[in-house]
């Protein structure tokens, strides 16, 4: 495709869901992208869907996991006519042959996304957790077998249609823990891409606000190799992410005049994520935090970032 003279054609499979709707809203005004839709009556017709996929440059999957797998199988059957696929479901995040769509993961990751024919968009909680843990594990500050505990709170928009309806109808509590069976679907990707050998203990929660997220990881500094200071952890994060990107390390977090508080909605409607190290070296305690929009860097805006890389836009 001549990307100077032609628009990139994109089909969003599942455009009626929360993630798909926002992706469509973000892409619709663009002059370099043409959105292609399927007749609503033919959404479940495999032949009709295959024809649409063969006509576009990239398909974005905003589907349940099983449906995403079925659509990928359809694409595989197209051979040389198969489009690139960006999957926003959980189905392929640790699958062989798929590129993980977190461009800031490490050196070369953005280029891998550019070159990838199959890219898996990260989970919202996973984006924050991996962003905090991966640089510290690679720097040797957190051992791969360290018993990591992750706490997180999200706006209710990440919970799907039924949760959104319950909160907006005031049928749900102001705050609730969930996934207490300790089998949350983001755990495998968090462990894999943080380079951890021990399974993480993850406790997510949802509160009565529409969007926004904080992921937090408490650490006993005296149990880490070399007993690093909070500044050492912060320096490792700074060295990984640098400056000027979508992921920002906020320095000296405990001294930033935030009153020892952090609220989850400040980055709503952006593709930004802020990382902080809140440390009390005298107590050998630290809490790592990642703040992001669960619909932004945690879902739809990250998908648009990946699309731009995949399509060379």
- The residues assigned a catalytic role are 124
For 90, residues 6+ apart whose C-beta sits below 8 A from its C-beta are 65, 123, 185, 186, 189
Q: 227 in helix, strand or coil?
A: coil
Closest CA to 73 of 35, 100, 93, 46: 46
CA 73 to each of CA 69, 80, 227, 290, 305: distance values in angstroms, whole numbers, following the listed order: 6, 14, 49, 35, 25
Closest CA to 60 of 30, 81, 36, 31: 36
Instruction: Render 2-57 in DSSP notation, one character per residue.
Output: -TTTSPEEEEEETTTSHHHHHHHHHHTT-SSEEEE---GGGTT-HHHHHHHHHTSS
- The whole-angstrom separation of Cα 24 and Cα 31 is 13
Exposure pattern of 251-277 as b/e (b: 16+ CB <10 Å)? eebeeeeeeeebebeebbeebbbbbbb
- The whole-angstrom separation of Cα 66 and Cα 63 is 8
For residue 99 the two structure tokens come to 């590129």
- The CA angle 136-139-143, to the nearest 5 degrees, is 65
Query: Which bin fits 312, alpha (ψ -120 to 50), beta or left (φ > 0)?
Result: left
CA 202 to each of CA 108, 179, 180, 281: distance values in angstroms, whole numbers, following the listed order: 28, 9, 9, 25
For residue 232 the two structure tokens come to 């050492």
């Amino acid at each position: 495709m001549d990307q100077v003279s032609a628009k990139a054609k994109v089909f969003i499979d599942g455009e009626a869901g929360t993630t798909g709707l926002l992706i469509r809203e973000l892409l619709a005004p663009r002059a370099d992208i043409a959105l292609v839709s399927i007749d609503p009556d033919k959404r479940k017709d495999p032949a009709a869907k295959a024809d649409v996929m063969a006509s576009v440059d990239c398909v974005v999957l905003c589907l349940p996991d099983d449906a995403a797998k079925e659509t990928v199988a359809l694409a595989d059957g197209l051979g040389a006519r198969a489009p690139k696929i960006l999957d926003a479901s959980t189905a392929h995040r640790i699958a062989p042959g798929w590129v993980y769509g977190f461009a800031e993961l490490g050196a070369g990751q953005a280029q891998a996304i550019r070159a990838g024919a199959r890219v898996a968009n990260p989970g919202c909680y996973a984006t924050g957790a991996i962003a905090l843990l991966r640089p510290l594990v690679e720097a040797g500050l957190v051992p791969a077998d360290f018993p990591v505990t992750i706490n997180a709170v999200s706006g209710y928009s990440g919970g799907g249609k039924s949760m959104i309806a319950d909160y907006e109808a005031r049928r749900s509590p102001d705050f609730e823990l969930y996934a207490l069976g300790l089998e949350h679907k983001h755990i495998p990707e968090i462990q894999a891409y943080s380079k951890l050998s021990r399974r993480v203990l993850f406790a997510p929660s949802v509160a009565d606000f529409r969007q926004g997220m904080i992921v937090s990881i408490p650490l006993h500094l005296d149990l880490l190799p070399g007993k690093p200071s909070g500044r050492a952890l912060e320096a490792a994060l700074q060295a990984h992410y640098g400056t000027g990107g979508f992921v920002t390390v906020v320095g000296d977090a405990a001294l930033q005049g935030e009153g020892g508080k952090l609220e989850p909605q400040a980055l709503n409607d952006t593709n930004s994520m802020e990382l902080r190290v809140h440390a009390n070296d005298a107590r050998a305690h630290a809490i790592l935090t990642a703040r992001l929009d669960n619909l932004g860097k945690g879902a739809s805006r990250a998908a648009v970032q990946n699309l731009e890389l995949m399509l060379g836009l």
